[in-house]
Structure 1
Amino acid sequence: MSKLAITYAALAAIATVVNIAAQDISLRLYSGAFSIFASVAVGTIAGLAAKYVLDKKYIFSFKPRSAAHDVQTFIAYAAMGLVTTAIFWSFEFGFDQIFHTKEARFLGAVIGLAIGYVSKYMLDRKFVFGGAKSEQ
């Protein structure tokens, strides 16, 4: 296994922990209507932000030209995440519907995130950070 693959897996694990922790905190703070959906949304946003910061620095060595360029890049990064988010949410909500426990839902999230992150790397490499190293 290459150093890049190991690094990517470690950073994906960190972003996964951020996502699940944010979901758990959200559920502890709010348990009303749509609390599960709200927690998944909160976790998704937290995990996305963490993963972007980690990927741009440690995987793609990306240095934006300006704050505006960084925002543009983040928007492209988030857009590439729409398909992978659908994968992750399908697993998380699927496990919730089948098993009806928070632990099973989180296990579904971890499985979905792992599958999604493999796809996301390929999308990000091609469509988001493809020219990043040549721009420095």
Structure 2
Amino acid sequence: MHAIFSGWLIVMKLAAIYTLLAALATICNIAAQDIFLSVYRGPYDIFLSVLSGTAAGLILKYVLDKRYIFRFKADNMTHDGRVFLLYSLMGVFTTAIFWGFEFTFHLVFQTDAMRYLGGVIGLAIGYWAKYALDKRFVFRATGGN
């Protein structure tokens, strides 16, 4: 019984940490979009802001995940680059979810606030799926936990 309870606590702790880190990456993503739009309003501004937010969130999430979730240490910069590339490739599907929600909310509601809400919903769903992909294909396959 103690082993089951102990295992459950470990899983809950990991879930709480992952949720916190996902929230930080989400804030980074939305903030980067908002900052981008405060500087540039012109052709393709929404798309470019979402792209900038995606890049900022991706980099932060990779750094946080590899350290605090998967406790991964690369052998060298080349190894880290390969792992980041694989991490990014696993994110293509989840990015499609995120972008789908954000752009749909933008088209339906036509406000930045609702577009950001769509982005937050899409990121939450995407991060849930991304954890499973990263655990199975990125960090396990590259020597992580």
The alignment's TM-score, normalised by the length of structure 2, stands at 0.90
**Cα separation, 1, equivalents of 2:68 and 2:52:** 24
**Cα separation, 1, equivalents of 2:74 and 2:138:** 12
Matched, 1:63 2:79: no
Instruction: Name the structure 2 match of 1:115.
Output: 125
Q: Secondary structure at the match of 2:28?
A: helix
Structure 1, unaligned runs of 5 or more: none
**Cα separation, 1, equivalents of 2:77 and 2:104:** 38
Q: Secondary structure at the match of 2:71?
A: coil
Q: State the superposition RMSD in angstroms.
A: 1.0
**Cα separation, 2, equivalents of 1:5 and 1:90:** 25
Query: For residue 130 of structure 1, what is the amino acid of its counterpart?
Result: R
**Cα separation, 2, equivalents of 1:26 and 1:124:** 29
Q: CA deviation at 1:133?
A: 3.7
Matched, 1:31 2:35: no
Query: For residue 94 of structure 1, what is the amino acid of its counterpart?
Result: T
Q: CA deviation at 1:26?
A: 0.4
User: How many residues in Structure 1 have an aligned counterpart in Structure 2?
Assistant: 134
**Cα separation, 1, equivalents of 2:132 and 2:39:** 36
Q: CA deviation at 1:59?
A: 0.1
Q: Which of these residues, 112, 127, 138, is aligned with residue 128 of structure 1?
A: 138
Structure 2, unaligned runs of 5 or more: 1-10
Instruction: Name the structure 2 match of 1:42.
Output: 52
Instruction: Name the structure 2 match of 1:3.
Output: 13
Instruction: Name the structure 2 match of 1:102.
Output: 112
Cα deviation code 1:109-129 (max 9, x no counterpart): 000000000000000000000
Bigger CA radius of gyration: 2
